[in-house]
Amino acid sequence: MANAYLQGVEISASQFLDIFHHYDNDGNGYIEGKELESFIKELQQARKQAGLELTDKMRAFVEEFQTNADAKIGIIELVQILPTEENFLLFFRQQLKSCTEFMQAWRRYDADHSGYIEADELKNFLKDLLQKAKKPYDEKKLDEYTHTTLKVFDSNHDGKLCLAEMARLLPDEENFLLKFQNVKMARKEFNKIFELYDQDENGYMDENELDALLKDLCEKNKKVLEVSKISTYKTAIMALSDGGKLYRTELALVLCAEDISAPASL
């Protein structure tokens, strides 16, 4: 079925998702190695069978793969190569131009402050982006975008998106949350850290307390976090705060490896 979709002049959002999952055999979010070899071979065959030439972007990627054995392609890069209908994932990415805008959007659409964007919240998020851009859509198309976006980014298949999953909409260079994935800590350690830097013990961190925490995290994790970007990290994380008050549950979205709202295991 995926091979047949590759013959299309234009690929729908759901067809695109089927293609990605077909070739991402190990489910790691990338098409690479033997998966990528198969994809390129079948892409060339499908275009030929349909009487179509490779587009310039397809040709450039094929040439890059031939000179780079370690090449891999993620879902957003695949959108840019395949003739996907309306390039819906790229469109949504373009509406969130910075990590701070993304965090502000997250806080707005996680309406119940559960720490997750659920299907109805995601639908409202996508609907507002489409309206903001004055982009035409109908209810059926909005449902398809919602369903497909959820399936694309819901890596643990729990029917909702956590902050790190949703952040895959951001370009890698803007996605500072990817870096923080490597410094996340267990709940017990996170609670100790929060209490240590909440120096006035008022139950939240202000900008200065967060700044001190980020400086120490950068010093401790020099290979992952960049001291020169502390200001960017701080601005983005404070976008989750309640009027400058960053409570434990908000900071946990970035730094805690566990769901802090769930009961602790005994």
Digit-coded pLDDT (tens) for 102-148: 888 888 889 888 889 999 999 998 898 888 878 888 898 889 888 88
Query: What are the residue ranges of CATH 1.10.238.10 in the chain?
Result: 2-87, 176-255
Q: DSSP class of residue 71?
A: -
**CB 96, CB 169: distance < 8 Å:** yes
Q: Smallest Cα–Cα separation from 186: which of 239, 258, 99?
A: 258
pLDDT at 205 over 50: yes
Other C-beta atoms lying within 10 Å of the C-beta of residue 184: 16
Which CATH number applies to 98-103+118-170? 1.10.238
State which CATH number among 1.10.10.350, 1.10.238.10, 3.90.25.10, 3.40.50.300 fits the domain covering 2-87: 1.10.238.10
The tens digit of pLDDT for each residue in 23-76 reads 888 877 788 888 888 888 888 888 788 787 888 888 888 888 877 777 888 777
Other C-beta atoms lying within 10 Å of the C-beta of residue 235: 14
Which residues of the chain form beta strands (DSSP E)?
A: 30-32, 72-74, 117-118, 160-161, 204-205, 246-247
The class (CATH top level) of 176-255 is mainly alpha
* pTM: predicted TM-score of the whole model, two decimal places: 0.69
